[in-house]
């Protein structure tokens, strides 16, 4: 009974794809209420700087692939539970949307286990932000019949049948967390795909003034991007809709740089 009286509330929220202006009004209100904000590394620091309470406790708990020193799921869950059981309003702030390739299920299970009340605030996911700011409609009529959201790294357990299916689909393919291994990814698709001229885009730091869009094709990817170190976050879009970028690219950027570095000066 004593633990129940101490319980606060947890807000699981999406901070959008990077541009500070793309957060929701609801998130803006909740940022002003939160006692503790546990944030991912890809959340634009300007969102915290301009919208969070000045006396809020900010905890950086970024989960990063290929980085063993980044926060573990268990540690993040423990932080959320610990602070909420102290009667605080805790915000778990994630880049993009809360449910696209994140560990939200683990966090929800931890909250349910401790009977901690929560709410979920969706955010604009990277695929929506990157495609919009690159002038690439993901399901443009006569270009694509649908869209698939995927991830890829060398340990991904796609079967040969699945690669064949992806190689022949008329859907737009959007790969999160794949830019680092773009050449291996396109190699798998080329193995089963006669449409080697299928267009692809790698979009760095989407929706920010540092956004860069790199255009290639499946067959040219290795020549164009071999040894290229794309900045994080980056998103990969594969499909004929990428051809629309040239005509409908509307967003003016500075190109080089990082919004995270700029805000740390």
Catalytic residues: 40, 63
- The C-alpha atoms of residue 106 and residue 86 are separated, in whole angstroms, by 21
- The C-alpha atoms of residue 130 and residue 206 are separated, in whole angstroms, by 5
- The C-alpha atoms of residue 229 and residue 69 are separated, in whole angstroms, by 21
- Strand ranges (DSSP E) for 157-248? 172-176, 199-204, 212-217, 234-238
Q: Phi and psi for 45 in degrees, rounded to 5?
A: -60, -25
- The C-alpha atoms of residue 193 and residue 178 are separated, in whole angstroms, by 19
* 8 A C-beta contact, residue 42 and residue 130: no
């Amino acid at each position: 009974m004593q633990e129940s009286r101490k319980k606060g509330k947890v807000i699981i929220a999406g901070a959008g794809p990077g541009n500070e202006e793309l957060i929701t009004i609801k998130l803006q209100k909740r940022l002003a209420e939160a006692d503790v904000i546990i944030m991912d590394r890809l959340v634009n620091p300007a969102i915290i700087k301009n919208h969070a309470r000045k006396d809020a406790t900010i905890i950086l708990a970024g989960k990063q692939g290929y980085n063993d020193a980044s926060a573990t799921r268990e540690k993040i869950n423990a932080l959320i539970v610990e602070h909420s059981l102290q009667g605080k309003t805790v915000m778990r702030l994630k880049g993009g949307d809360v449910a696209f390739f994140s560990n939200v299920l683990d966090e929800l299970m931890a909250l349910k286990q401790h009977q901690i009340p929560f709410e979920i605030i969706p955010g604009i996911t990277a695929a929506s932000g990157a495609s919009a700011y690159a002038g690439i409609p993901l399901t443009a009529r006569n270009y694509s019949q649908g869209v698939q959201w995927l991830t890829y790294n060398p340990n991904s357990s796609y079967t040969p049948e699945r690669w064949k299916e992806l190689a022949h689909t008329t859907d737009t393919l959007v790969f999160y967390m794949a830019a680092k291994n773009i050449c291996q990814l396109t190699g798998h698709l080329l193995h089963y795909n006669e449409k080697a001229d299928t267009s692809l885009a790698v979009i760095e730091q989407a929706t920010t003034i540092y956004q860069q869009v790199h255009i290639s094709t499946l067959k040219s990817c290795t020549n164009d991007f071999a040894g290229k170190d794309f900045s994080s976050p980056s998103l990969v879009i594969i499909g004929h809709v990428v051809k629309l970028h040239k005509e409908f690219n509307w967003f003016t950027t500075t190109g080089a740089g990082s919004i995270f570095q700029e805000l740390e000066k």
